[in-house]
Amino acid sequence: MALVEKQRNGRIKPPFPRWVNTTITTLASVSVTMLGLLFVTFIIGRVMPIDPVLAVVGERASQETYDAAYEAMGLDKPLLVQFGYYIWDVLHGDFGESLLTARPVGEDIARVFPATFELATLGTLIGIFAGVPLGVMAAVHRGSWIDQIARVVALVGYSMPVFWMGLMGLLVFYGILGWVAGPGRISIFYDGMVPTVTGMMLVDAAIDGNWTVFRDAFSHIILPASILGYYSLAYISRMTRSFMLEQLSAEYIVTARVKGMSERAVIWQHAFRNIRVQLITVFALSYANLLEGSVLTEIIFSWPGIGSYITTALLSADMNAVLGGTVVVGLVFILLNIFCDLLYKVLDPRAR
């Protein structure tokens, strides 16, 4: 039986539906990317000038103990076999044990990642809801004082180091004005009062209906989230302005204005509608960068997230924790790319 058959109109009918081919292609791409990520982290773990055996048994261990641990960790086998074992363990969620906590790295990551996810999500939302209108208004009023202010705001957001803004934020809004709470996720008095469901303090407090804890958690998160949001706002507003300028100079915009369409409809129903797909990529990149790059913010605000976890592990030569956290962050990037592809198909009929 032939793999393809011709339809009556002369077109060739594919052997499988298009969505099947798309799914297979996506899965293959994700698998290859993930395999490359695992290969890189595996090589990093082998070339680092840190003996993983000594990190486990200690420097005063006897040669017999060292050799036994060396064989137990599978380091006596060829690198290809070790890489196979590494892939198998990662696929089963086994990243080894952390030297600092003496717990499985997977459990540590599951404990700290929700804190980073909550912080980066709120920061991205602040950047989107403030950056998109700012970029649109700057493009609509190009060359005006609104445009100049928007460009200065974006320039400051790009130029100021995140750690400096964090320190200044703590000094002004916590130390001097007292408008927000200090470092940490929650006050010690409220620690443990809300059962852990998602690991995100605001969500868990809302689920439990404990609005006192919710207000305290919000008071702790709003300052670091606003700093990350300002960093995200600078990127989002600048890209939005650039995309809108390109659309506002197009011929269809001139035609819409000639037909007597209101300026509000021209801006939001026509110009902005055509940049939504481009903005999805901007939002995803901004979100991924906050998930990965909030290390300094987490350290300054004593935020127990994956960024500070990986940094502490790296300074302590805890390579299992470092590599496990790196794999999780890379997996987040891959999932965000898949999510963006799905949104493309929803918002842009041409992508379907």
Average pLDDT of each block of 10 consecutive residues along the chain (352 residues)? Answer: 47 58 72 80 72 68 74 73 81 79 86 91 92 92 89 85 87 90 86 86 90 92 92 91 89 84 85 86 86 80 87 79 84 82 71 57
DSSP conformation letters of 209-235: T-HHHHHHHHHHHHHHHHHHHHHHHHH
How high is the pLDDT of residue 350? 61
Measured between alpha carbons, how far is 238 from 229 in angstroms, rounded to an integer?
A: 14
- The per-residue pLDDT for 131 is 92
Other CB atoms within 10 Å distance of the CB of residue 235: 20
Q: Burial letters for 182-191: b for 16+ Cβ neighbours within 10 Å, e otherwise?
A: ebebbeeebe
Q: Which of 82, 1, 70 is nearest to 45 (CA)?
A: 82
Chain CA centroid to CA 258, Å: 43
Architecture of domain 105-351: Orthogonal Bundle (1.10)
Exposure string for 117-147, b = 16+ CB within 10 A, e = fewer: bbbbbbbbebbbebbbebbbbbbbeeeeeeb
- What letter would DSSP give residue 14? P
What is the C-alpha to C-alpha distance for residues 30 and 26, in angstroms, rounded to an integer? Answer: 6
CATH code 1.10.3720.10 region(s) in the chain? 105-351
What are the pLDDT digits (tens) for 293-341?
Answer: 678 888 888 888 888 888 888 777 777 888 888 888 888 888 888 887 7
Q: What is the pLDDT of residue 18?
A: 66
Contact 233, 134 (CB under 8 A): yes
Q: pLDDT tens, 230-243?
A: 989 999 999 999 99
3-state SS, one letter per residue, for 36-86: HHHHHHHHHHHHCCCCHHHHHHCCCCCHHHHHHHHHHCCCCCCHHHHHHHH
Give CA–CA dist 212/187, Å, rounded: 11
- pLDDT confidence of residue 220: 92
Q: What is the DSSP string of 313-328?
A: HHHTT-HHHHHHHHHH
Hey, which bits of the chain come out as E strands? 5-6, 12-13
- Predicted confidence at residue 2, as pLDDT, reads 45
